DNA sequence: CCCTACGTGTGGTCTGACCAACTGTCCACC
DNA sequence: GGTGGACAGTTGGTCAGACCACACGTAGGG
């Protein structure tokens, strides 16, 4: 039995996590002032530099505002944080993944993936369709080995997004891939939600063909169908839950 | 003539900018090792702590990999950076905005905005349509005062995205708003590109009505039309350029 | 009453030191 | 010959303490 890599978190990372958590949970609401750096340092029992690194990272994410000599103010992350916060929203309450967050992720994935496929059909360089077909071939090859499907799915959509010639899609998709990792770690349910999507190998091949033919309309439609399955699965999951799970 | 606020950049921010630029320009390509922290500090003529803060921020963005005792490796930002990089891509080459980046931004904005409108029609809380109608009223009120259109447009789409009940859209839209600021600053052309979109007040009112009626299909269609105008404008701009502008 | 000047608190920068992890080398041992 | 341990050098991580720069409240002078 192989052992995995040991998670080693630096002191600054731990401070970052603690502050992030207290902001996301609302313990430190928007507009409130954080304690001074020096006090945070003694509270955490660490050096001031570690606190500073954490605070600068929070600032970069838009979660706090720091003014020289004026203290640190907590922002409202709903209006000032960027997409980079998404992976951390998933991990923030580590007991279970917020279904609304999951749905958000799947919807964003679907809407970007579908449009990327549309553009990929007309803007992608030569050879993209061949790459996609190769991946589909591998998919068909490994019948039930579910553990490797995920990787192939990533490569498939990676190729499409790369072929869409849209940096914004590319970057957003990178964030989404990171989120997927956090999702899979935090919640065992997520993979099974995706399962029905993975199974549709036929559509994967159709999509590759449509992209190879340069048919934007068909590509967008098939990709939407493919990715819509994941959205539908999350929605069903959401509907099956008691009504009290709807926060954030 | 009123003078604006002076940009005061901390030392760590300047180091961050320099490193970011040298990574984005490819001067420090993927896989290359950065000089050690101590050397970077003497090169920049600053403290090592400042360098550390900058490096930690680069790490958070996924641009570099840092291993304890092992040095700092530059990542390929195309595969490892998140959407947070988008604003910095715009500013990176400050002479002119890369048209491909601009197009990417407008497309992402359009695709998210349209889907947000679709969901806003069915998922938004009571009163959203009233808010939207109020904003449209203000739009109609200030005939040619173009400077204030931008603000109103932001509020309008803010309300829609907030009503879509999708955190991912919300966060991505926050990033896009930030990008819009950078765009307007870096390139005077951007506002005129958006102008035709702003002018379509009638569609803005139609969209508010469709959302109020809970008509998802119409909302998505109108929003797509509205936002598609901006995409089309950028595409025309792109087509009018000499072919040598296509990098990145 | 204004408003200047100052003190206090807070973020920003610096110095220097030490700890901890990776890397390569060499050598004892099997 | 190969394996594993001991070692030194490089580099990131942490710490302590000091000083500078800015914001803000307040008391004193006009």
Closest-CA distance of chain B to residue A242, Å: 18
> CA A211 to CA A163: how far, in whole Å?
10
> CA A248 to CA A90: how far, in whole Å?
12
Contact A174, A218 (CB under 8 A): no
Among A53-57, A148-152, B28-32, B134-138, the least confident range: A148-152
Contacts of A68 in chain B (CB under 8 A): 8
- Does A147 score more than 80 pLDDT? no
Say how far B38 CA is from D8 C1', in Å: 20
The residue with greater pLDDT, B8 or A109, is A109
* Beta strand segments in chain B, E: 33-34, 64-67, 71-74
Q: Which residues 65-104 of B have a C-beta within 8 angstroms of A?
A: 68, 78-86, 89, 100-101, 103-104
- Does B234 score more than 60 pLDDT? yes
A-chain residue closest to B113, CA distance: A111
Long-range CB contacts (within 8 A, 24+) of A144-153: A146/A191, A146/A195, A146/A198, A149/A198, A150/A184, A150/A191, A150/A194, A150/A198, A153/A194, A153/A197, A153/A198
Name residue, tokens 């907590």. Answer: A74
Angle in degrees, CA A193, A199, A204, rounded to 5: 120
pLDDT in tens, A81-90: 999 999 998 8
As ranges, strand D nucleotides with an atom below 7 A of a protein CB are 9-18, 21-24
- Protein side of the strand D interface (CB < 7 A): A 10-12, 45-50, 67-70; B 8, 34, 36-38, 48-49, 52, 55, 66-72
Residue B248 binned pLDDT confidence (cut-offs 50, 70, 90): very low
This prediction's pTM: 0.90
Among A126-140, A231-245, B72-86, the least confident range: A231-245
What 3-state class would DSSP assign to B240? coil
Confirm or reject contact between A63 and chain B (CB < 8 A).
no
pLDDT in tens, B74-119: 999 999 999 999 999 887 665 566 788 888 999 999 999 999 999 9
Sheet of A33-34, strand order: A33-34, A71-74, A64-67
What pLDDT score does A32 carry?
95
Residue A247 binned pLDDT confidence (cut-offs 50, 70, 90): very low
Q: What percent of chain A has pLDDT over 90?
A: 61
> CA A139 to CA A152: how far, in whole Å?
7
Does the CB of B33 fall within 7 Å of any strand C atom?
no
């Amino acid at each position: 039995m192989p052992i995995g890599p040991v998670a080693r978190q630096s002191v600054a990372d731990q401070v970052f996590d603690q502050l992030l958590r207290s902001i996301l949970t609302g313990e430190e609401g928007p507009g409130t002032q954080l304690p001074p750096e020096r006090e945070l340092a003694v509270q955490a029992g660490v050096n001031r530099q570690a606190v500073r690194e954490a605070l600068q990272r929070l600032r970069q994410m838009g979660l706090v505002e720091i003014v020289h000599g004026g203290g640190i103010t907590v922002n409202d992350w709903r209006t000032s944080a960027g997409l980079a916060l998404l992976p951390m929203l998933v991990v923030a309450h580590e007991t279970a993944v917020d279904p609304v967050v999951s749905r958000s992720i799947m919807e964003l994935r679907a809407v970007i993936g579908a449009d990327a496929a549309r553009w990929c059909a007309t803007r992608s360089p030569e050879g993209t369709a061949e790459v996609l077909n190769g991946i589909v071939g591998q998919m068909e090859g490994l019948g039930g080995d579910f553990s490797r499907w995920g990787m192939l799915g990533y490569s498939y959509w990676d190729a499409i997004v790369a072929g869409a010639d849209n940096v914004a899609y590319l970057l957003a998709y990178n964030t989404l891939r990171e989120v997927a990792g956090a999702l899979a770690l935090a919640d065992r349910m997520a993979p099974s939600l995706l399962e029905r999507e993975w199974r549709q190998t036929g559509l994967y091949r159709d999509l590759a063909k449509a992209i190879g033919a340069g048919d934007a309309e068909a590509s967008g439609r098939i990709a939407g169908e493919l990715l819509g399955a994941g959205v539908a699965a999350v929605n069903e999951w959401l509907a099956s839950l008691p009504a009290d799970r709807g926060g954030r």
